[in-house]
């Protein structure tokens, strides 16, 4: 986004100049009087050039760097201003660049495919976790496949209309879900395959340059691997650790029975999480796996809560695998 100093030399503002009373609702209009942005504000907000890239691109390409400012309602309290703003955005939505906008034209079938593919990819990554111990080569293969799946759903088109057109014109940023790369770099690091680690990270950030902050663990692993490849630091010695001794315990059957009775009756994910936590507290991971598998064997309802339980299941299996006790 350009700073205000730059923008002042780029855009010509027409229309009203006065400062409205209290909260107000305003429009930005093109030369023919058509509104392309509706907002609410106080003070000089309507004249502010602190706008997003889509707004700037629209003014440059559709308005010839010039637009009109019109005050539509003023002397309002916050609630009144929000109500009027919402009504106007709903009325003119298809021609507006507002990001929060019911007039944006989504292909909901394509959006459903996006979410289904993304959720399936998350499940695939969680399911691969136990292989990191028992079959690391297989885990590498599956994490690479998961990265290809991320590319598939991030590239899906599920919106048309003005906002979608502007995004394509300015170059819509893509934010790939980094979990498969995170796990892949962990396994490659353990296997000592440092050149592959560097290549995998570089390929990812060539496609998704803004997907994580600069202190993310993946970038730290990449820096370490690059230094090893360049001979600037030695390859770390990684002694093979013996299987970890797993604590044993006894789950209080009466308490667990009460939780499971409610969980089986209501099929609510939270009740199953409570039962899983009780098993974890008493170090009965095998029991936890069994009840998670029981829940996930039932009818699937799309949603994050199901994925959380699925991820929990595969993490517990990975813990058991480390202890050489996979059920």
pLDDT digits (tens, 9 = 90+) for 153-212: 888 888 889 998 998 888 766 677 899 999 999 999 999 999 999 999 999 999 888 777
Element (H, E) at 78: helix 78-92
Give pLDDT, residue 174. Answer: 67
- Token pair of 6 as six digits: 């730059």
Structural domain includes residue 239: no
Query: Same domain, yes or no, for 172 and 120?
Result: yes
- Among 53, 72, 95, identify where a domain stops: 95
Structural domain includes residue 234: no
Cα–Cα distance, 160 to 136 (Å, whole number): 42
Query: Same domain, yes or no, for 222 and 293?
Result: no
Give pLDDT, residue 183. Answer: 94
Query: Same domain, yes or no, for 73 and 133?
Result: no
- CATH for 39: 3.40.1440.10
Structural domain includes residue 42: yes
- CATH for 193: 1.25.40
**Average pLDDT score over residue span 27-33:** 95
Report H helices in 155-284.
162-170, 179-191, 194-207, 217-229, 253-266, 269-281
Query: Same domain, yes or no, for 123 and 195?
Result: yes
Question: Rg of the Cα trace of the chain?
Answer: 27
Query: Same domain, yes or no, for 129 and 197?
Result: yes
Query: Same domain, yes or no, for 116 and 90?
Result: no
Query: Same domain, yes or no, for 125 and 90?
Result: no
Query: Same domain, yes or no, for 129 and 68?
Result: no
Domain hosting 215: range is 105-229
Neighbouring C-beta atoms of residue 300, cutoff 10 Å: 10
Q: How many domains does the chain have?
A: 3
**For residues 284 and 251, is the Cβ–Cβ distance under 8 A?**
yes
Query: Same domain, yes or no, for 166 and 269?
Result: no
Give pLDDT, residue 283. Answer: 86
Cβ neighbours for 322, distance < 8 A, ≥ 6 positions apart: 133, 243, 244
- Among 229, 245, 276, identify where a domain stops: 229
**Average pLDDT score over residue span 251-257:** 91
Query: Same domain, yes or no, for 161 and 225?
Result: yes
- Among 71, 95, 119, identify where a domain stops: 95
Cα–Cα distance, 16 to 13 (Å, whole number): 9
pLDDT, averaged across the chain: 87
Residues found in the chain: 327
Structural domain includes residue 247: no
Query: Same domain, yes or no, for 210 and 310?
Result: no
Query: Same domain, yes or no, for 110 and 79?
Result: no
What's the 3-state SS for 105-162?
EECHHHHHHHHHHHHHHHHHHHHHCCHHHHCHHHHHHHHHHHHHHHHHHHCCCCEECH
Instruction: Please tell me the pTM assigned to this model.
Output: 0.63
Neighbouring C-beta atoms of residue 195, cutoff 10 Å: 12
> What angle separates helix 108-128 from helix 179-191, to the nearest 10 degrees?
20
In tens, the pLDDT along 135-144 reads 999 999 999 9
Instruction: Identify the DSSP state of 47.
Output: G
Banded model confidence at residue 2, pLDDT cuts 50, 70, 90: very low
């Amino acid at each position: 986004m350009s700073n205000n100093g730059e923008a002042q030399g780029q855009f010509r503002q027409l229309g009203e100049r006065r400062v409205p009373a209290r909260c107000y609702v305003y429009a930005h209009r093109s030369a023919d009087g058509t509104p392309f942005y509706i907002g609410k504000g106080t003070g000089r907000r309507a004249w502010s050039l602190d706008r997003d890239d889509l707004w700037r691109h629209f003014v440059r390409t559709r308005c010839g760097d010039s637009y009109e400012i019109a005050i539509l309602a003023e002397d309002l309290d916050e609630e009144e201003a929000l109500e009027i703003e919402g009504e106007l955005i709903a009325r003119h939505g298809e021609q507006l660049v507002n990001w929060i906008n019911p007039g944006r034209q989504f292909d909901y079938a394509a959006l459903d495919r996006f979410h289904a593919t993304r959720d399936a990819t998350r499940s695939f990554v969680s399911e691969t976790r136990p292989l990191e111990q028992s079959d690391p080569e297989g885990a590498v293969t599956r994490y690479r496949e998961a990265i290809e799946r991320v590319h598939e759903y991030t590239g899906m088109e599920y919106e048309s209309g003005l906002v979608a057109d502007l995004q394509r014109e300015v170059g819509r940023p893509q934010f790939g879900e980094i979990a498969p790369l995170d796990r892949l770099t962990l396994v490659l690091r353990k296997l000592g395959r440092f050149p592959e680690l560097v290549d995998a990270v570089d390929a990812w950030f060539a496609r998704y340059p803004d997907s994580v902050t600069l202190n993310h663990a993946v970038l730290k692993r990449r820096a370490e691997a690059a230094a090893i490849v360049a001979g600037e630091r030695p390859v770390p010695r990684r002694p093979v650790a013996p299987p970890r001794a797993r604590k044993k315990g006894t789950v209080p059957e009466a308490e667990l029975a009460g939780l499971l009775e409610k969980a089986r009756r209501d099929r609510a994910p939270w009740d199953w999480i409570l039962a899983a936590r009780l098993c974890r507290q008493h170090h009965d991971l095998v029991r936890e796996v069994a009840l998670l598998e029981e829940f996930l064997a039932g009818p699937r309802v799309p949603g994050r809560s199901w994925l959380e339980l699925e991820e929990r299941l595969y993490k517990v299996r990975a813990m058991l695998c480390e202890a050489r006790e996979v059920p």
